Structure 1
């Protein structure tokens, strides 16, 4: 990254606005470039202007000053950014199923991916828009960029929800828990129970040592992690804080060259590392640094977990075919 960290955001709805606010509060960016949601509608122009005003008004309470640029629908202005976050979507279409936005988000993405590629953008992408894995696949294919530079928030968020339910059940702080939801960011995701650990101790060992604390109904906890977003949506018709923070966590890992390990949506490259899957994006644990996804961490999944992974991949590939990406 250069001396000045520039982050672009496409779409300033609930998620995009919270991404911007989280960037400010964490002191991640020096410059933030924000754009409309590719529709050209007057209400989106007014919303963008309002968000920029509100964010600028908050700067006195942030760690350091940040220049915030209202780019309207001029997506090419984001070409100088280190990272671009795609938060363009229509959450009402995915009220019951994240696949509901499939045609909307993939059509919308074409309106900014191609102009940015033409403008020479060579930074990193962090995709939030749903279905996250399909849109990330589209960004890679249409932009022609190195696939390692395209990341989807994917199951980073769902893994956080998984840690939350494990923490609520055991009383152990989330930061001391290793736990991954894997596969698509959608109904077919699954918990990699074989990799769950508390302070380095495998869950299987703790179940024997402290059965009263660590023996619980796995199906109930896994479903709570899978459906957490819909609990949030049911009460306020959107999800915003957690998914925005997941996106900013990926941005921070990139611009700080952290080499942190966390799950995100990345290109399946075939071979043992991706369990033989190839040619599309979905979530596995990754080492994330300045180059984006620097390494995929291979887990020794059980036979049952591998079956779940392949079933989840089949769903992503089916959706990709529906929009001509496979």
Structure 2
């Protein structure tokens, strides 16, 4: 009896891509990893380091170096190419001229390999780059999506857990919108074990807190990490690995991702961070939260900001 080999290609082996590779391997989510990077010395080093670790991993993982043209038989490709040195302004959009140009150079080569799997984009600005990849790849809707506000939501849950003492897994809350400065917390939908935040705030002072402060900590959490170590690694690689697991196991798990909206939330033709059902076909359904009027207005502002950058991306080569 044969079993399906789970094969993932990673484009870009910088801080993020390398940690994603290790996270996927050490958690036992993949059987084969294929590494692609324009920096030959770096990708050779990362491949060697991962191979050195295989003996102590949960199961055997095959690690190979490849080119864009070799990715055709991958089930999932992770796009993690970027230039971390451009983020000193603490603005994810600062990478756009570089990342969009790079993606436009190699997505065609990837598709010429015969690839028909799922592409998960991490590269910033996440929503814009995901849109570029979706358009250039021509893959069916849902098969290209971004990590979006997945990590931002984890940061929000961490802050709520610290504030209330309630475990992350018992809290339902989402950051939505742009993976950037204009994202928002869907406060009207936050609940703890099914009990709305507003109800608990009437009963317990732990649930009476400055929402704006919590939101700012969620939005700015990545920059706290970046300022001290010059990159983010553990949070994003864990987020990515969880998406991959949801796809390979067809979990139908609800996770926030940068997904194409086709009328949901009153928006059309735009990738933006929203809760989605993730399964074997990628984003299988967008979950539409019952936002209040104020949240809807803020969400539309997020989308307007993304569209401005989408327009700029059209002219980047």
* SS of residue in 2 equivalent to 1:268: strand
For the aligned residues, what is the CA RMSD? 1.2
- 1:112: how far off? 2.1
Mapped partners of 1:82, 1:198: distance in 2: 36
Which position in structure 1 is the counterpart of 2:237? 244
Tell me the alpha carbon deviations over residues 208-262 of structure 1, each in whole angstroms, 9 at most, x when there is no partner. 121x110000010000000000000110111111011111111111111000001
Which position in structure 2 is the counterpart of 1:3? 4
Number of residue-to-residue matches in the alignment: 313
1:70 aligns with 2:65: yes
* SS of residue in 1 equivalent to 2:25: helix
Which position in structure 2 is the counterpart of 1:143? 137
Alignment of 1:74-89 (within 5 A): 74-89=67-82
- 1:323: how far off? 1.4
* SS of residue in 2 equivalent to 1:58: helix
Which position in structure 2 is the counterpart of 1:253? 246
Alignment of 1:22-61 (within 5 A): 22-36=23-37, 40=38, 44-61=39-56
Runs of 5+ consecutive residues of structure 2 not aligned to the other structure? none
* SS of residue in 2 equivalent to 1:65: coil
Q: Which of the numbers 264, 274, 279 marks the counterpart of 1:284?
A: 274
- 1:9: how far off? 0.1
Mapped partners of 2:214, 2:78: distance in 1: 30
Tell me the alpha carbon deviations over residues 173-227 of structure 1, each in whole angstroms, 9 at most, x when there is no partner. 11111110000100000000011111111111111121x1100000100000000
Moved over 3 A (4+): none
* SS of residue in 1 equivalent to 2:45: helix
Runs of 5+ consecutive residues of structure 1 not aligned to the other structure? none
Alignment of 1:57-136 (within 5 A): 57-71=52-66, 74-95=67-88, 96-136=90-130
Mapped partners of 2:275, 2:153: distance in 1: 10
Mapped partners of 2:86, 2:196: distance in 1: 39
Is the contact between residue 261 and residue 286 of structure 2 (CA under 8 Å) also seen in structure 1? no
1:275 aligns with 2:265: yes
Mapped partners of 1:118, 1:47: distance in 2: 25
- 1:103: how far off? 1.1
- 1:111: how far off? 2.3
Mapped partners of 2:84, 2:127: distance in 1: 16
* SS of residue in 1 equivalent to 2:34: strand
1:314 aligns with 2:311: no
Alignment of 1:161-240 (within 5 A): 161-210=155-204, 212-240=205-233
Q: Which of the numbers 288, 293, 302 marks the counterpart of 1:303?
A: 293
- 1:94: how far off? 2.2
Mapped partners of 1:197, 1:276: distance in 2: 24
Mapped partners of 2:173, 2:57: distance in 1: 32
Mapped partners of 2:153, 2:25: distance in 1: 24
